[in-house]
Amino acid sequence: MNTAPKFPAILLLSLYLCTTISVRASHHEESPSLALGKPDAHAVTVHDLAILGARVIDPETRVDAVLNVGIRNGIIKTITAEPLQSAQVIDGRGQVLSPGFIDIHSHSPTLLGQHLSLLDGVTTQLDLEAGAWPVTAYGDHFTGGAQLNYGASVSHAAVRWKVINGIDQPYVFVGTKPAQLPIEAWTTPATDAQLEEIRRALEQGLRGGGLGVGVLLDYMKDAISPEELRLIFETAGAFHQPVTVHVRRGMPGDPDGLDEVLALALETKAPTLICHITHSAMGGLSEWLAKIDSANEAGAQVTTETLSWPAGGTGINADVFRLRDWRAIFDIDYSDVQWVETGEWLTEETFKRYQQEQPYGMVNHHYVKEAWIEQALRWPDMIVSSDALPAMSLSQKTNPNIAGTYSRLLGHYARDRNTLSLIEAIGRATINPARWLEKSSDVFKRKGRLQIGTDADLVLFDPEKIMPGAAYGDPYQPSVGIGWVIVGGEVVVANGQRVEGHYPGKRILNRTDKN
């Protein structure tokens, strides 16, 4: 396969004339820029780190060329065809250098989860679906320092646990144990007084830096009234923050749950992200995407995400498995469900036994078609995320999403299946989530891009070798072909191995937080 990049004519001319992309000084406060011009002798800079001779890809500007990149003080200082001076040098020849991947949907802010995410090129890890309350509960495993950036939305579910049951349960796990989730909060509609408590708690979470509000609507299908859902959207909209929602699921392809959310997005003007559209829309994906396009044309701000792995992952005691005809909804049977911890394929007998004896255990249910994922990936504004389940220890299995989401996107879909181009695939993991997240925090104006003045969150990978090492039943094998990962200008993965002792990761809060 011919992997030579196709350069725009102006870029070829610029490189031929030995032009350079450079600035004399770059600071966090400056807007990122691309300035093409002849080398300036006064712009020669000694950098902290330089990546030389890599194929540099920036999906926002469509730059795709062999260049040298210089980093200083955690910021991209220089992008040039000219030689660079630097204290540390990485040989990027034959490799692609791209912005680091932004995972907007990970339930695994653990040390093992961080390790595997970094080896898959993730430089920012967020949980916008489930969220946390307070939001600082997301990432409490990183008290000794984080190697990637992290953050969370305000968890409407955690607020409900408190208001309905009086339980302080800030996230979906505590320490290394799954949360003991109260059934009443999942099934009981809120009173008028409780709705007011929920509103105040959501406001508190947004003032505390939550990246919007995360709503596990499908898990509380019968508990959340139209009034409560409207309250959520109105509260987020008042703070100019997005709502991330797992919509109510009907029978395969049924768009009623989507329609409910789109109507509120239009009415309240709250930006709205629809979780894992392939897993919710199923065979109705074309109709769902068309409805999102129509809502946006009418003035809404709506986007969506897809996973790169086909199975769904959730608790065996989830509402859909307890109270609904899940075999009809997912068009599968017991034999299509896998017990995550051991990789065991279930029967009706073992399914019901695990549900009774280990109600907080996790399952992978295999129902998503490859064609749905490919169709979703072709939608221009699509975001790719992991939906990784909590990874606590090597002895307790989870799904392969945690270790191989982005290597599967770039290797399986972009290279092997030609579902989309390499630059488009990188965009689904970088500039698309960054642009969406700018609605919540100005930090993301400097992320998801490889430009002068942007944060030096970068990944260097071999486009011919990149592929996931993980698989269902063997989820913790690291990705292949990802050699270097840089966060905030510091090397955290070198030659495919995570580097200990460097903790440049930062908690990301929304723009309403003053800390």
Which of residues 446 and 25 earns the better pLDDT score?
446
Secondary structure class of 279 (helix, strand, coil): helix
DSSP 118-142: HHTTEEEEEEEEEEESSGGGTTGGG
Tell me: pLDDT of 240 over 60.
yes
Amino acid identity, position 422? L
Q: Are 321 and 249 in contact, with CB atoms under 8 Å apart?
A: no
Predicted confidence (pLDDT) at residue 43 exceeds the cutoff of 80: no
Alpha carbon of residue 499 to chain centroid? 23
* CB atoms closer than 10 angstroms to residue 355: 17
Query: Among 256, 247, 301, 303, which residue's Cα sits nearest to residue 279?
Result: 247
- Contacts of 216 by beta carbon, 8 Å cutoff, 6+ apart: 129, 130, 156, 157, 246
Q: How far apart are CA 359 and CA 351, in angstroms?
A: 10
Q: Say which range, 23-37, 78-92, 141-155, 441-455, has the weakest mean pLDDT.
A: 23-37
Residue 187 to residue 322: CA distance in whole angstroms: 12
| pLDDT above 70 (res 12) | no
Question: For residue 9, what pLDDT band results from cuts at 50, 70 and 90?
Answer: very low
Residue 314 pLDDT more than 90?
no
Mean confidence (pLDDT) of the chain: 90
pLDDT at 171 over 80: yes
Helices assigned H by DSSP within 399-449: 401-408, 422-429, 431-437
Strands 490-494 and 497-498: antiparallel
Q: Name residue, tokens 């890809």.
A: 57
The average pLDDT across 146-156 equals 98
Residue 8, pLDDT score: 39
With a CB cutoff of 8 Å and minimum separation 6, the contacts of 348 are: 334
CB of 385 within 8 A of CB of 405? Answer: yes
When pLDDT is cut at 50, 70 and 90, the band that residue 476 belongs to is very high
Q: Which residue has the tokens 């390790």?
A: 115
Confidence band of 175 (pLDDT split at 50, 70, 90): confident
- Hunting for tokens 């030579």 — which residue is that? 4
Binned at pLDDT 50, 70 and 90, residue 513 comes out as: low
The larger pLDDT score, comparing residue 21 to residue 106, is at 106
* Tens-digit pLDDT profile for residues 245-264: 999 998 889 999 999 999 99
**Do 266 and 297 form a contact (C-beta atoms < 8 A)?**
no
The tokens 């029967």 sit on which residue? 347
Measured CA to CA, the distance from residue 125 to residue 152 in angstroms comes to 9
Cis peptide before 475 (omega within 30 of 0): no
- Is residue 395 very low, low, confident or very high in pLDDT (cuts 50, 70, 90)? confident
Averaged over 448-477, what is the pLDDT? 97
Rounded to an integer, what distance in angstroms lies between the CA atom of residue 229 and that of residue 271? 14
CA gap 67, 84 in Å, rounded: 10
For residue 512, name the pLDDT band (cuts at 50, 70, 90): low
Q: Does the pLDDT of residue 25 top 50, yes or no?
A: no
Instruction: Convert the pLDDT of each residue in 82-135 to its tens digit.
Output: 999 999 999 999 999 999 999 999 999 999 999 999 999 999 999 999 999 999
Residue range 225-236: mean pLDDT, rounded: 98
**Strands 272-274 vs 302-306: parallel, antiparallel or unpaired:** parallel
Q: Return the higher-pLDDT residue of 493 and 40.
A: 493
Q: Of 159 and 17, which is predicted with more confidence?
A: 159
- H or E element, residue 92: none
